[in-house]
Amino acid sequence: MAQLMMHRDVLKGYHKLPTKVQKRVASFMDRFQADPSDPSLHVHKLDETMVDSKVRGANLPDGYRAIIIAPEKGDTYLMVHIDVHDKAYAWAKNKRFEMHPKTGVFQVFDVEEMQSAVAQQPETFSPADNYPLSGLSHDNLFKAGVPEPLIPAVKAISSDESLEALSDYLPKDCRDVLMGIAAGMTLDEALDEMLGLDATPAPELVPDGPGDFTNVAKRANFDLVLVKGEEHLKDILQASLEEWRIFLHPYQKKLVAWETKGPMNINGSAGTGKTVCLIHRAVHLANHLDNPKDKVLLTTFTTNLSITLKAYIRQLDENAADCIEVTNLHALSRTICTRSGWKGRIGDDEDFDSIWASIWVNPELGQLPMTEDEMVNEYWQVIDANGIDNEEDYLTTVRSGRPRISRKQRRQAWPVFRAFQRGLKKRNILTVEGAVHQARLSVEQKNFHKYRHVLVDETQDFSLEALKLIRSLCPIEEGFSDPLCTVGDGHQRIYRTKIPMSRAGIEIRGRSRRLKINYRTSEQIRKYAQAMLQGIEIDDLDGGQVSIAGDHSAFKGPEPIIAPCKGPIEEAKAIVAWVQKLMKDYGLEDYAICITPYKPEIVTALTDANLSILQLKPREVDPGKDEPGVRLGTIKRIKGLEFRAIALACADPDDPMNSLAKAEILDRCERYVAATRAREHLLVTICH
Ligand SMILES: Nc1ncnc2c1ncn2[C@@H]1O[C@H](COP(=O)(O)OP(=O)(O)OP(=O)(O)O)[C@@H](O)[C@H]1O
């Protein structure tokens, strides 16, 4: 029986096709797979007009045509395009559709188009000295996945500008590998890190010639999915096509199924598909559980993200979802404490203020080594965050990122901290971190079970205690495979200073991998956001530094707009004008636009302009297209969300955006997080 694979672009454009065409394509699937030569399907050769003789046309209603690529070997066919007759054939005319004989990746390319792009390169692109791509031989370019007919054109690339300009004409796999090499990787490193491919792929992964599409699904495939029939097509398309469910990058696929003996880590800048990887991995592990009683834990730092993940897991695989517990760290800690017999509650600011107040008025309070405010800060940042409950641990703890204090000062401070902890105990309350600490002790004392697999998102924001809790919940001592997978990004740490995972006994050395292709944000916004953190050493979550070499976005877009404004009224006006332009000129819906942080002047100006608004509340899901309104949210609230357009309202003279070099690292990272929520459009208002 024949197989029919569909291209990502066909599926992406499916809902825009006339209903009659959609219906015919759906019924076509089953009939074609039963007999591709069935004359009622009207599939015909187009030899004379097409550069590639494998191209076939299939008649659809209303003058539409599907472009189908027939194999030269095997019986796997590819449906790669649908449009009205003339447009469909014009699209296919000069293209070639081939499996790369070395990398085994399916590629679509147009030699003529590439050659004319090379000829039209501006003279301002002067060749760089010792440009890494210039040194590559014909054979190595072929090994890098460049299609043979494009090699002469690629040999003409001699600067980053030229690579960037020609990247739109290269198949994306070889674009990614070439970008890796241009950023300083060796060819083998680039194949591994940009594509997830071994330098010498296993023989079964290499096609038997460029026209052999057999086993495409098992290879490093970006864009093709095997559609088993009409029902399967419906399932793939659901309400709208969610590309992340169907089309993983080959490197993401590799990480999803990577079998490890110990904890593994995935890092990558914002928007590189870490969470997508984690969701797929959770489902993959749930589908391979040996014991039906075993459970997978998927946890996050923020409540908002855990709500989103729960929905995504169900969307991906209903059955697997039953074996996956999705919860955020604090809810998890509370559950463990309660199930282990604790009957208290988590305190709030009022409780804590009243305990501190009782300490400051105690006549026996000795001399303080710092101000009261500094003492309170020290408690939350050091004692609470590290789960310290005795003086010796406080004297020896590493206080990274905190102002220096002597051992004598620590000794003087400890009785105050002990008094605070006694105050908590007397009232039978825990701090949030205290609950994490109690939870860890409960698990270590075997009052709560371990999970078969644990997966963690937003690990960069976990405290040492939280990391220790995670460590205690996964079966590392038992020697089970894939005990823990952590995901995080040092660029996005907005709650605390860095803590190497090894300090919590989580050893990821040799099992840490980095994703480099940004799917969310245009290249222009990615570069702008990255520059906001220039000069800051970004860690790999384990005490090392990350390299952003080779990082790039999957698509391009307009440059971010920087608007200097004199005061909040002018800022609000600039934002309203920008929102109106996006809606009028780019057809953006109001719910696809978000303003952060927001101020009363902005709310008034939007309302006066008859624009509806929706304030994003903590712990409530963004209703998306179901509820209109320009979104307004704090930076912390919009972490984990994404929008087609973001306005970062930073015109207040005190906003860190106006003096980035002097700003606190956490503030800079917050602004990085906000900017990278934007897919296509970014407006930044700054102080004039
Ligand atoms: N293989 C893929 N194909 C298409 N889209 C993808 C793919 N992987 C991820 N995406 C999309 O890219 C966006 C970012 O993905 P994701 O949230 O997983 O990234 P992330 O690295 O976790 O981001 P952040 O750290 O900023 O939260 C999402 O819209 C997601 O659907």
As given in the structure block, the two tokens for residue 576 are: 């309203």
State in Å: Cα 518 to ligand 1 middle: 7
Phi–psi pair at 43, nearest 5 degrees: -95, 125
Q: Are residues 313 and 456 located together in one domain of the fold?
A: yes
347 within 8 A of 430, measured Cβ to Cβ: yes
Which of 410, 430, 450 is at the close of a domain? 430
Residue with CA at minimum distance from ligand 1 atom 31: 244
Task: Assess if residue 386 is contained within a domain.
Answer: yes
594 within 8 A of 632, measured Cβ to Cβ: yes
Mutate to test the pocket of ligand 1, among 8, 244, 546 (most ligand atoms within 8 A of CB): 244
Annotate 420-458 with DSSP letters as a single string.
HHHHHHHTTEE-HHHHHHHHHHHHHTTSSPPPSEEEES-
pLDDT digit string, tens, across residues 61-74: 999 999 999 999 98
Model pTM?
A: 0.89
* pLDDT value of residue 498: 79
275 is in an annotated binding site: yes
Task: Indicate the residue type of 682.
Answer: L
- What are the E-state strand segments in 269-396? 296-300, 324-328, 345-346
Ligand 1 atom at shortest distance from the alpha carbon of 243: 4
State in Å: Cα 309 to ligand 1 middle: 12
Question: Residue 265: helix, strand or coil by DSSP?
Answer: strand
Task: Assess if residue 509 is contained within a domain.
Answer: yes
* Full residue range of the structural domain in which residue 11 is found: 3-99+211-244
Task: Assess if residue 538 is contained within a domain.
Answer: no
Which of 469, 501, 519 is at the close of a domain? 519
- Give yes or no for residue 102 CB within 6 A of ligand 1: no
Residues 559, 662: Cα–Cα separation, whole Å: 25
State in Å: Cα 276 to ligand 1 middle: 6
Residue with CA at minimum distance from ligand 1 atom 13: 520
* pLDDT value of residue 241: 61
Task: Assess if residue 532 is contained within a domain.
Answer: no
Q: Are residues 487 and 611 located together in one domain of the fold?
A: no
459 is in an annotated binding site: no
397 within 8 A of 438, measured Cβ to Cβ: no
260 is in an annotated binding site: no
104 is in an annotated binding site: no
CATH code for the domain in which residue 275 is found:
3.40.50.300
Question: Residue 55: helix, strand or coil by DSSP?
Answer: strand
State in Å: Cα 271 to ligand 1 middle: 5
Mutate to test the pocket of ligand 1, among 520, 636, 638, 643 (most ligand atoms within 8 A of CB): 520
Q: Are residues 407 and 372 located together in one domain of the fold?
A: yes
Mean pLDDT of 150-154: 91
Mutate to test the pocket of ligand 1, among 315, 519, 533, 670 (most ligand atoms within 8 A of CB): 519
pLDDT digit string, tens, across residues 197-230: 877 777 777 788 888 998 887 777 889 999 888 8
Residue with CA at minimum distance from ligand 1 atom 11: 519
Lowest mean pLDDT among 240-244, 436-440, 465-469, 513-517: 240-244
* pLDDT value of residue 239: 58
State in Å: Cα 188 to ligand 1 middle: 26
- Give yes or no for residue 489 CB within 6 A of ligand 1: yes
567 within 8 A of 603, measured Cβ to Cβ: no
Q: Are residues 170 and 253 located together in one domain of the fold?
A: no
Mean pLDDT of 537-554: 87
124 is in an annotated binding site: no
Mean pLDDT of 670-677: 95
As given in the structure block, the two tokens for residue 270 are: 């914002």
Q: Are residues 630 and 515 located together in one domain of the fold?
A: no
470 within 8 A of 462, measured Cβ to Cβ: yes
Task: Assess if residue 553 is contained within a domain.
Answer: no
Residue with CA at minimum distance from ligand 1 atom 15: 273
Residue with CA at minimum distance from ligand 1 atom 27: 640
Question: Residue 636: helix, strand or coil by DSSP?
Answer: helix
Q: Are residues 443 and 308 located together in one domain of the fold?
A: yes
103 is in an annotated binding site: no
Task: Assess if residue 228 is contained within a domain.
Answer: yes
Inter-CA distances, 246 with 222, 236, 273, 280, 307, Å: 10, 7, 13, 10, 21
Long-range CB contacts (within 8 A, 24+) of 578-582: 578/647, 578/683, 579/606, 579/609, 579/611, 579/630, 579/647, 580/609, 580/611, 582/644, 582/645, 582/681
Task: Assess if residue 236 is contained within a domain.
Answer: yes
% of the chain at pLDDT higher than 90 = 64
Ligand 1 atom at shortest distance from the alpha carbon of 252: 1
Mean pLDDT of 151-155: 90
For residue 34, give the H/E element and its range: helix 19-34
Asked, as a colleague might, if the bond just before 558 is cis with ω within 30 of 0, I would say no
Lowest mean pLDDT among 14-28, 200-214, 454-468, 523-537: 200-214
Q: Are residues 14 and 88 located together in one domain of the fold?
A: yes
- Give yes or no for residue 248 CB within 6 A of ligand 1: yes
19 is in an annotated binding site: no
For residue 310, give the H/E element and its range: helix 303-316
Lowest mean pLDDT among 33-37, 217-221, 278-282: 217-221
State in Å: Cα 640 to ligand 1 middle: 10
463 within 8 A of 434, measured Cβ to Cβ: no
pLDDT digit string, tens, across residues 73-97: 989 999 999 999 999 999 999 999 9
Residues 357, 360: Cα–Cα separation, whole Å: 5
Q: Are residues 296 and 440 located together in one domain of the fold?
A: yes
State in Å: Cα 526 to ligand 1 middle: 13
Q: Are residues 387 and 484 located together in one domain of the fold?
A: no
Q: How far is CA 350 from the centre of its chain?
A: 37
633 is in an annotated binding site: no
pLDDT digit string, tens, across residues 38-54: 888 889 998 778 999 99
* pLDDT value of residue 240: 62
Please give the tally of structural domains in the chain.
5
Residues 391, 393: Cα–Cα separation, whole Å: 5
State in Å: Cα 574 to ligand 1 middle: 30
- Give yes or no for residue 278 CB within 6 A of ligand 1: no
Mean pLDDT of 104-126: 85
Residue with CA at minimum distance from ligand 1 atom 18: 273
Residues 456, 329: Cα–Cα separation, whole Å: 9
Find the distance separating the first CA and the last CA of the chain, reported in whole Å: 68
131, with CB counted inside 10 A (0-12, 13-18, 19+), is: middle
Residue with CA at minimum distance from ligand 1 atom 5: 244
Q: Are residues 400 and 445 located together in one domain of the fold?
A: no
Q: Are residues 317 and 443 located together in one domain of the fold?
A: yes
The chain-wide mean pLDDT, for the chain, equals: 91
State in Å: Cα 236 to ligand 1 middle: 18
Inter-CA distances, 354 with 26, 357, 457, 487, 668, Å: 66, 5, 34, 38, 33
Q: Are residues 638 and 491 located together in one domain of the fold?
A: no
Which of 244, 267, 293 is at the close of a domain? 244
pLDDT digit string, tens, across residues 616-661: 987 777 888 889 999 999 998 888 889 999 999 999 999 999 998 8
Task: Assess if residue 396 is contained within a domain.
Answer: yes
Closest CA to 131 of 152, 156, 167: 156
Handedness of CA 299, 305, 311, 316 (dihedral sign): negative
- Give yes or no for residue 243 CB within 6 A of ligand 1: yes
240, with CB counted inside 10 A (0-12, 13-18, 19+), is: exposed
pLDDT digit string, tens, across residues 221-270: 889 999 888 888 888 887 566 888 888 998 999 999 999 999 999 999 99
- Give yes or no for residue 570 CB within 6 A of ligand 1: no
590 within 8 A of 611, measured Cβ to Cβ: yes
- DSSP letter, residue 539: B
State in Å: Cα 244 to ligand 1 middle: 7
